Amino acid sequence: MSLPRRVTLVEVGPREGFQFEGIGQPDRIATADKIRLIDMLAETGLPALQIVSFVSPKQVPQMADAEAICAGLNRRPEVAYNGIYLNDAGLKRAIAAGVLDIRGKVTLAMSETFALRNQKRTLAEDYEMQRRIAALYKAHGIAVDYGATMAAFGCNFEGPVAVERVVGFVQKLHDIAAEAGDRLATVNLADTMGWADPELVRRVVGAVRHRWPELRIALHLHDTRGLAIANVYAALLEGVDLFDTAVGGLGGCPFAGHKGAAGNVCTEEVVFLCRQLGIETGVDLERLVEAARFAERIVGHPLPSKLLAASLHPQPAVASAA
Amino acid sequence: MSLPRRVTLVEVGPREGFQFEGIGQPDRIATADKIRLIDMLAETGLPALQIVSFVSPKQVPQMADAEAICAGLNRRPEVAYNGIYLNDAGLKRAIAAGVLDIRGKVTLAMSETFALRNQKRTLAEDYEMQRRIAALYKAHGIAVDYGATMAAFGCNFEGPVAVERVVGFVQKLHDIAAEAGDRLATVNLADTMGWADPELVRRVVGAVRHRWPELRIALHLHDTRGLAIANVYAALLEGVDLFDTAVGGLGGCPFAGHKGAAGNVCTEEVVFLCRQLGIETGVDLERLVEAARFAERIVGHPLPSKLLAASLHPQPAVASAA
């Protein structure tokens, strides 16, 4: 396997970040600032943005402005905007928002404890919910072609995940698509709680690809324990060319059980890595860094991005002697 | 090449950290706290600690307590303690300190601009200084067997570095050792300003190994642009088994020209990576995390380590619902 020539990045920083940063402080980031950040990201060359979650405003009040954000976007036609939802009610809201590029995405959590915390249902109930969501897509003429797993590399509550279990869940996602008369084109493997390591990424990607050689693999990697960029490199070595990333390293899962942890793998660091490796992303790194600086300003604290702290174009130091 | 079975880590956090954190505030970390951190690190299973610099107290006042630190150590016989020095006067102080395990190490900067800032001399003068240092080792019965380069992967002032130039500087280091009647066993390639990427690491390591197959390669990687852990993984894939790392991700070069940037690759994240990959380090990760927490306390701000923020053993969240 050689490195891909081109990689597609899906920016999830707004959705992940607004959700995580607003815990206990739902009004901390003004809706107008959220929109401004999304608009800035849309001008970087990023092809797709995950901007909001359609979840219960009672449970996640910091996402109560999801519709207001959608309504306020300065929408660019070349960018795909999307949101997430955990049930059919959420999907209905996403469709009703009217401006999103809804994909036929079904998602299965792989840990029961995590599913009970995050989705508020058992794995069996989660499977049934995804069937309902698939039926709802079909009713709206949307093909069910994108499968996703959560906690595919390990779980803070249930520990490591066997590679065979991942393959089993990807099969379940295939089954849901097949029942809807469709076929998965892409499967997203999410390291929701930061359990992946580079060799595990290669084993899991290898096993899924071995079974379904035509399936495009996407990775959603959290940087909880500092290995995310190494995991990206490992995935690139396996030819993976689709990643979820978050500007500034925003994000973190509110139900993963570790407060204060780092968020998703940082978009600008992945873009920088790709640039150094000669892999195209189509992203303007300078504009992206500007967006990251704005993100840092509106969340009100330093983000995990190291590239951001270093500055892109180093200036000779004013520093004294040694 | 397969992953090494065992990796040796040299902890450079005290030297890098005390130097960097003390810029403009030389008394910020009490000498007793510095000693306590070193003692904690010595109890983790780390085989070697770089604890101080013997540099001008006028230029680097935060290192003025180098001798006091050496005198106050609770020295453990199984740990190698060392310091750095940029000239023969510094080496004399290191030897006079009496407790260090002095190695016959010669170091060449690879960028003239950086050398003028950091060592206060041209590359030609730097070469002569290393010959003097080599002669001083010999006068003390120390074999000149360890070569090091600075700015081997790129320079904030002079840009990228060609692989052939690295090979050329390793040859110069060999020449200095040969002139002293010795032979290099190890060469340390330092990414002083965070210019390395995983493929560059593999190319440089490959070129040096191709020319000198018996030479052990060590890497000193800064995390300035967020790629250090990916660079470590790339090096492991090439069989590199010797790394300088810094607890908590302490460090940064005061003369590299980027204030506020991340420091060295983080020891606990490298230990964690190795553990996940089944590579032995001999380091007790729990004790190391305790030392990192103490380091964070004495520097008075969060350190870049993500593992530290996540906590090692995740606890079920107290968190509410979504």
- Interface residue B224 vs chain A (CB under 8 A): yes
Q: What's the farthest any 2 CA atoms get from each other in chain A?
A: 70
Q: Is A307 helix (H, G, I), strand (E, B) or coil?
A: helix
Q: What is the DSSP string of B49-108?
A: EEEEEE--TTT-GGGTTHHHHHHH----TTSEEEEEESSHHHHHHHHHHSS----EEEEE
Q: Domain span at residue B212?
A: 103-240
- Interface residue B64 vs chain A (CB under 8 A): no
Asked if B233 and A120 come within 8 Å (Cβ–Cβ), the reply is: no
Asked if A269 and B232 come within 8 Å (Cβ–Cβ), the reply is: no
What whole-number distance in Å separates Cα of residue B154 and Cα of residue B161?
5
- Residues B94 and B110 both lie in one domain: no
* Domain membership flag for residue A322: no
- Residues A95 and A149 both lie in one domain: no
Cβ distance A294 to A32 under 8 Å?
no
* Domain membership flag for residue B315: no
Number of domains into which chain B is organized: 2
- Residues B154 and B109 both lie in one domain: yes
What whole-number distance in Å separates Cα of residue A141 and Cα of residue A121?
27
Report the predicted TM-score, pTM, of the whole model to 2 decimal places.
0.94
Q: What are phi and psi of A210, to 5 degrees?
A: -60, -40
Chain centre distance of CA A71 = 22
- Residues B161 and B115 both lie in one domain: yes
- Residues B236 and B129 both lie in one domain: yes
Q: What DSSP character marks residue A145?
A: E
* Domain membership flag for residue A321: no
pLDDT tens for chain B, 322 residues long, are: 689 999 999 999 999 999 888 888 888 899 999 999 999 999 999 999 999 999 999 999 999 999 999 999 999 999 999 999 999 999 999 999 999 999 999 999 999 999 999 899 999 999 999 999 999 999 999 999 999 999 999 999 999 999 999 999 999 999 999 999 999 999 999 999 999 999 999 999 999 999 999 999 999 999 999 999 999 999 999 999 999 999 999 987 656 565 667 889 999 999 999 999 999 999 999 999 999 999 999 998 889 899 988 865 444 333 332 3
Residues of A in contact with B199 (CB under 8 A): 3, 276-277
Burial class (CB in 10 A: 0-12, 13-18, 19+), B186: middle
- Residues B228 and B200 both lie in one domain: yes
- Residues B73 and B89 both lie in one domain: yes
- Residues A81 and A152 both lie in one domain: no
* Domain membership flag for residue A320: no
- The number of residues making up chain B comes to 322
Asked if B317 and A55 come within 8 Å (Cβ–Cβ), the reply is: no
Q: What's the farthest any 2 CA atoms get from each other in chain B?
A: 70
- Interface residue A260 vs chain B (CB under 8 A): yes
- Residues A221 and A111 both lie in one domain: yes
- Interface residue A304 vs chain B (CB under 8 A): yes
* Domain membership flag for residue A147: yes
- Residues A96 and A169 both lie in one domain: no
pLDDT tens for chain A, 322 residues long, are: 689 999 999 999 999 999 888 888 888 899 999 999 999 999 999 999 999 999 999 989 999 999 999 999 999 999 999 999 999 999 999 999 999 999 999 999 999 999 999 899 999 999 999 999 999 999 999 999 999 999 999 999 999 999 999 999 999 999 999 999 999 999 999 999 999 999 999 999 999 999 999 999 999 999 999 999 999 999 999 999 999 999 999 987 656 565 667 889 999 999 999 999 999 999 999 999 999 999 999 998 889 899 988 865 444 333 322 3
* Domain membership flag for residue B318: no
Q: Is the ipTM of this complex over 0.90?
A: yes
Shortest Cα–Cα distance, B199 to chain A (Å): 7
Neighbouring CB atoms inside 10 A of B13's CB total 30
Last residue of a domain, which of B215, B240, B265?
B240
* Domain membership flag for residue B317: no
What whole-number distance in Å separates Cα of residue B18 and Cα of residue B21?
5
Q: Say which CATH number the domain at B257 has.
A: 3.20.20.70
Last residue of a domain, which of A242, A274, A295?
A242
- Angstrom distances, CA of residue A242 to CA of A11, A105, A186, A284: 11, 15, 9, 17
Shortest Cα–Cα distance, B276 to chain A (Å): 7
Nearest CA in chain A to B274: A197
Asked if B310 and A258 come within 8 Å (Cβ–Cβ), the reply is: yes
Number of H helices, E strands in chain A: 12, 8
Last residue of a domain, which of B240, B257, B285?
B240
Chain centre distance of CA B320 = 43
- Residues A126 and A110 both lie in one domain: yes
- Residues A109 and A177 both lie in one domain: yes
Q: Which residues of A are catalytic?
A: 253
* Domain membership flag for residue A9: yes
